[in-house]
């Protein structure tokens, strides 16, 4: 720091009343005897007084807290979270995942290798599965199942939402 910055720093501490008594007397003596210190002091004191004149703190009205509390009370309480959650939609999603799980397990059982593996397979327990349905093209029927379930799911979802809308409006 140069000398002017040190002088200004000490003068700001003097103006703000943050000096100890020894520094307070030393700075008061420098202001009285040194022309540079007195010029800086008069400039900083004018700036301090100008800021203090325009920077008045505004206080809120006496009823401010009461007004805020009344505005909050008028908004009402929030709905419980369980009202946002539709259990039927959750059940529908769970049923879709369950159906998908069953289909995947079924395909694993049907297309699992019969030999060449030391691991126990379902075909060893039930060899008639492969002989009962050897000619079924399961991929074709899976696509039919998807094309059937998706529109039915949308129809179910639409009917559930319409019921909810009617229930809320009544």
CA dihedral 140, 141, 142, 147 (to 10 degrees): 100
Domain count, the chain: 2
Helix residue ranges per DSSP H, the chain:
3-16, 21-33, 35-54, 64-75, 87-111, 122-125, 128-132, 138-169
In a domain, 73, yes or no: no
Percent of the chain residues topping a pLDDT of 90: 1
Structural contact between residues 145 and 107, judged by C-beta atoms closer than 8 angstroms: no
What does the alpha-carbon distance between residue 74 and residue 156 come to, in Å, rounded to a whole number? 38
Q: What is the mean pLDDT of residues 124-152?
A: 65
Query: How confident is residue 130, by pLDDT bands cut at 50, 70 and 90?
Result: low
CA dihedral 119, 125, 128, 134 (to 10 degrees): -20
48 and 98 belong to one structural domain? no
90 and 39 belong to one structural domain? no
Query: How confident is residue 37, by pLDDT bands cut at 50, 70 and 90?
Result: confident
What does the alpha-carbon distance between residue 163 and residue 69 come to, in Å, rounded to a whole number? 37
Give every CB contact of residue 18 below 8 A, 6+ residues apart in sequence: none
In a domain, 101, yes or no: yes
Q: What is the mean pLDDT of residues 153-160?
A: 86
In a domain, 161, yes or no: yes
Query: How confident is residue 133, by pLDDT bands cut at 50, 70 and 90?
Result: low
114 and 161 belong to one structural domain? yes
Give every CB contact of residue 165 below 8 A, 6+ residues apart in sequence: none
* Two tokens, residue 129: 């599965």
In a domain, 74, yes or no: no
33 and 100 belong to one structural domain? no
Backbone conformation region of residue 78, classed left if phi is above 0, alpha if psi is from -120 to 50, else beta = beta
Q: What is the mean pLDDT of residues 99-127?
A: 64
Query: How confident is residue 19, by pLDDT bands cut at 50, 70 and 90?
Result: confident
In a domain, 37, yes or no: yes
Q: How far is CA 107 from the centre of its chain?
A: 41
What does the alpha-carbon distance between residue 29 and residue 97 come to, in Å, rounded to a whole number? 87
The range of the structural domain enclosing residue 18 comes to 3-54
113 and 165 belong to one structural domain? yes
In a domain, 96, yes or no: yes
In a domain, 153, yes or no: yes
Note the pTM of the prediction, 2 decimals. Answer: 0.34
- Render pLDDT for 53-106 as a digit per residue (tens, 0 to 9): 777 667 777 788 888 888 888 887 776 766 677 788 888 888 988 888 888 777
In a domain, 93, yes or no: yes
Q: What is the mean pLDDT of the chain?
A: 77
């Amino acid at each position: 720091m140069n000398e002017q910055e040190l002088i200004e720093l000490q003068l700001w501490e003097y103006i703000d009343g943050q000096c100890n008594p020894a520094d307070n007397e030393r700075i008061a003596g420098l202001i009285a005897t040194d022309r540079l210190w007195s010029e800086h002091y008069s400039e900083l004191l004018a700036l301090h007084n100008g800021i203090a004149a325009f920077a008045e703190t505004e206080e809120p009205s006496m009823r401010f807290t009461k007004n805020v509390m009344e505005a909050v009370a008028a908004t009402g309480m929030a709905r419980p979270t369980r009202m946002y959650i539709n259990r039927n939609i959750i059940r529908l999603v769970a049923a879709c995942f369950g159906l998908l799980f069953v289909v995947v397990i079924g395909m694993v059982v049907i297309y699992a290798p019969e030999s060449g593996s030391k691991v126990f397979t379902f075909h060893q327990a039930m060899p008639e599965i492969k002989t009962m349905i050897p000619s079924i093209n399961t991929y074709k029927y899976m696509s039919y199942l998807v094309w059937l379930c998706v529109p039915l799911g949308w129809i179910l979802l639409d009917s559930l939402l319409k019921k909810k809308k009617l229930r809320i409006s009544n």
